[in-house]
Amino acid sequence: MTRLKQTITRWQGMGLIATTLLGTGVFILPQLTLAAAGDKAILAWGLLLLAILPLTQVFAQLGRHFPHAAGPAYFVERAFSAKAGRVVGLMFLFVVPLGAPAALMITFEFLTPIAPLNEGEELFGQLLLLGIIFIINRQGIQLSGTLQLGLTIAITGVVILLFVAVVASPPAIHPKHTAIPGTWSGVMVAVSIAIWSFLGIETATHLSEEFRDVQRDFMPAMLIGVVLVGLIYMGCTHLSNFGLGQPLAIVGTFEQLFGGVGRWVIALLGFISGIATVNVYFASVARLAWSFSCEGVLPQRLAKLNKHQTPEMALMSFLLISAGVLLLSHLLALPYTAMMQWVNGVFVLVYIASMLAAWRLLPQANRLWITLGLLACLLFIISLGAAMIYAALLLATTGLWVSRQPNKATQAS
């Protein structure tokens, strides 16, 4: 099998992971959690970060010991069977063309304060972005890693700047609207909303094979990226208190401190960050499709690599599928919130399968982390409630389809 190009450094990997998780929610989700959990919103983020860390630890160990472009699908295949791995891989393949359009819709929310668009203009812009993502990704993931490391630094810098300004001149701003008193039921609702921000930690495992030194750099890249993201979300939640009542609370905070440029700064960072998130998901799904094609699960033409050693045909195919879903969602006026929850449920099932695979594959010293990861998944299922129905239906459908297919796949080396 042809190998992918190994170019990603520790800090590029951290940038890819952090930007993927910050993505579409970095300046929006904190405001939504404040509405749900009130003054306990930061507590909700803290609980979520604690729940995510065991999952991150296990995925980092899996990616470090078993670097492979197929990520969770490969782990499940190694632990159980080729068909089980195929089910997990197909679930990821089928959910990204649904999640990416939802992420693009959220991304365009950042334009509302500076350039409101009608539905037709939004659709045109979203389809145009899919074309730009194709151009960026066909050059290879190293370019994306470098760009997204810079973006992560910029977002972190803005949050730190706001904190310093608040501390240095506390009388300068005062919350015009105070957060409601929080309840534990509100905290659970906030957690169910905030899950979107951390679903994506597994995408890095698809890229582990392209790290220059996966044994040394992969785990630090994942852990640093996740902790940094958790702190940024908690910081943005605190800062959003000062801008409640605005369409985007963080914009209200920024403009109280620095004037009218806030909407432009936040819009630019949020918009680019959303694009970066979608970019990494397509990079991951293209490599999974390439891996499956090499093993005979998907059509052979998807296994073709271009001169940059990038699976260009696989990338193009899933971008076109996503464009179709985007068109359909606009025609049916399907809200992105519903699409987002369905995607969340599918990823929770992928995480459960990965934790069970880790129980078999990793040394026993990891079993405490695996158990905590499974408990975190249970918390997510309870939070998502009825949204898990879509995930269960997709699991049943892919399982039935795979069970009727000839066992063509062979375990990749």
pLDDT digits 0-9 by tens, 303-344:
777 776 778 788 888 889 999 989 999 898 888 877 887 888
Report d(CA 198, CA 226) in Å as an integer: 8
Mean pLDDT score of the chain, rounded to an integer? Answer: 80
In a domain, 409, yes or no: no
Closest CA to 348 of 392, 283, 309, 316: 392
pLDDT in tens, 31-68: 888 888 888 899 999 999 999 999 988 988 887 788 77
Q: Give 178-190 pLDDT, tens digit per residue.
A: 667 778 888 888 8
For residue 175, the model assigns a pLDDT of: 58
pLDDT tens readout for residues 102-141: 888 888 888 877 777 888 888 999 999 888 888 877 666 5
Does 19 fall in a domain? yes
| Separation in Å, CA 178 to CA 248, 249, 259 | 15, 12, 21
Report the CATH number that the domain containing residue 351 is assigned in CATH: 1.20.1740.10
Question: Does 1 reside within a domain?
Answer: no
Residue 410 domain-assigned (yes or no): no
**Sign of the C-alpha dihedral computed for residues 67, 73, 75 and 81 taken in this order:** negative
| 352 pLDDT higher than 60 | yes
Domain around 313: 10-403
Q: Record the pTM.
A: 0.77
Measured CA to CA, the distance from residue 333 to residue 109 in angstroms comes to 16
The helix/strand/coil state of 401 is helix
Residue 190 lies in a domain: yes
Residue 388 to residues 80, 202, 261, 364, Cα–Cα distance (Å): 24, 19, 41, 31
| Count of Cβ atoms closer than 10 Å to residue 287 Cβ | 25
Is the model's pLDDT at 362 over the cut of 60? yes
Confidence of residue 410 (pLDDT cuts 50, 70, 90): very low
Give residue 147's pLDDT band: very low, low, confident or very high (50, 70, 90). Answer: low
- Rounded mean pLDDT, 268-277: 78
Q: Is residue 20 part of a domain?
A: yes
Q: Identify whether 412 is part of a domain.
A: no
pLDDT of the residue at 360: 94
Q: Residues 191-216: pLDDT tens digits?
A: 888 887 887 677 666 666 667 666 67
Number of domains the chain contains: 1
